[in-house]
Amino acid sequence: MQCLLIYTKKKKFLDAAISSTNFIINDLNRTPKSEGFIFSYSPLDDTCVYNASLLGSRLLSRVYSYTKNPELISLAEESVRACANTQREDGSWVYGELSMQGWVDSFHTGYNLECIAEYQKYSGDNSFQIHIEKGLSYYLNNFFLADGTPKYYNNKTYPIDVHAPAQLIVTLSRLDVLKENKDLADNILKWTISNMQDSKQGYFYYQLKKGFSSKIPYMRWAQAWMFYAFSFYFKDINNGK
C-alpha cells in the first residue's frame, strides 16, 4: 500500500485501504482483555488468533500514517497491546486461545513480529520493542536448523512448509535485521532452492513430509511467497539492484 501510493499518486489505492479499515473496525468482533482487545478472525466468530488480530492492527496503523485518524491508531495500539501481553516468557506465542490452537509455529511467529514492528514504524510508538527483541531471539533460535532446514513447529521439523523460509526473509527485512542475519538467510534460501524447487520447471513445492511430499505448484502459497521473499532479499542485500 505504501509503495503504491508513493509511486502512483493515485487516491483510489488510499480509498481502498480506508475501506479495508472500515471492515476491521465495523465488522470484526472484539474480545476484551485486561489491556486492550483482540480482533476476531472473521465477522462470523469470536476466536482469538493473534496473528490475525495483528494483521488488522498493521493495516490500521499504515492507513493512520496517511489519514492521521486517531481512532485507527488507538484501536491498533489496543490490539497490539493485548497480543503482546500473550507472549510467553521465552518470547514465543501460541497460535491462538482455543484448546486446539496451542501450537507454536514458524511463519505465524514471523507474522506477529512483522506486524508489531510495522505498528511501531507507522505509529511512532516504540513501547513494544522488548516484545520484538524477545520474539526475534526465540524465532531465530527455534525454527531453523544448522544445515538450513526451516522447521514448521518449535518442537518438530515436519512438515517442512515453503512459507517458513519465505516468511523468514520478510520478517528479517521488516525488522531491519536482514543484513546482519545474511548468513542465516543465505543458508535457508540455499536449502530451500536445493530441496524445494523443481529442478526442471523451476517452481517451488508446497510441503515436504516424511515419506510423502506435496509438490503441487500452488501459485499463492508457494510461488507468490517465494517471489515476495526474494524481492525483500534483493532490496535489502543488493540495494534493489
Single out the residue in 96, 125, 154 at which a domain terminates.
125
Other residues' Cβ atoms within 10 Å of the Cβ of residue 171: 28
Single out the residue in 62, 90, 125 at which a domain terminates.
125
Q: Say yes or no: 107 and 194 in one domain.
A: no
Q: Say yes or no: 70 and 10 in one domain.
A: yes
Residue 113 falls inside a structural domain: yes
- Looking at the structure of the chain, the number of domains it has is 2
Span 122-146, pLDDT tens digits: 999 999 999 999 999 999 999 999 9
Residue 137 falls inside a structural domain: no
Q: Say yes or no: 36 and 64 in one domain.
A: yes
Q: Say yes or no: 120 and 181 in one domain.
A: no
Q: What is the mean pLDDT of the segment spanning 144-155?
A: 97
Q: Say yes or no: 41 and 88 in one domain.
A: yes
Q: Say yes or no: 105 and 224 in one domain.
A: no
Per-residue confidence (pLDDT) for residue 241, from 0 to 100: 47
Beta strands in the chain (DSSP E): 30-32, 37-39, 160-161, 207-208
- pLDDT of residue 181 exceeding 80, the answer is yes
SS3 208: strand
Residue 154 falls inside a structural domain: yes
- pLDDT of residue 7 exceeding 70, the answer is no
In DSSP terms, which residues pair with 96 in a beta bridge?
49
Q: Say yes or no: 119 and 170 in one domain.
A: no
Q: Say yes or no: 114 and 189 in one domain.
A: no
DSSP type of residue 240: T
Residue 138 falls inside a structural domain: no
CB of 136 closer than 8 Å to CB of 89: no
Residue with cell 507474522: 111
Span 66-116, pLDDT tens digits: 999 999 999 999 999 999 999 999 999 999 999 999 999 999 999 999 999
Output the pTM of the full model: 0.93
Residue 65 falls inside a structural domain: yes
Q: Say yes or no: 87 and 172 in one domain.
A: no
Q: Say yes or no: 169 and 115 in one domain.
A: no
Residue 204 falls inside a structural domain: yes
Residue 231 structural domain: 143-241
Q: Say yes or no: 2 and 100 in one domain.
A: yes
Q: Say yes or no: 120 and 150 in one domain.
A: no
Angle, helices 225-237/163-174, rounded to nearest 10 degrees: 40
CA distance 80 to 114: 12
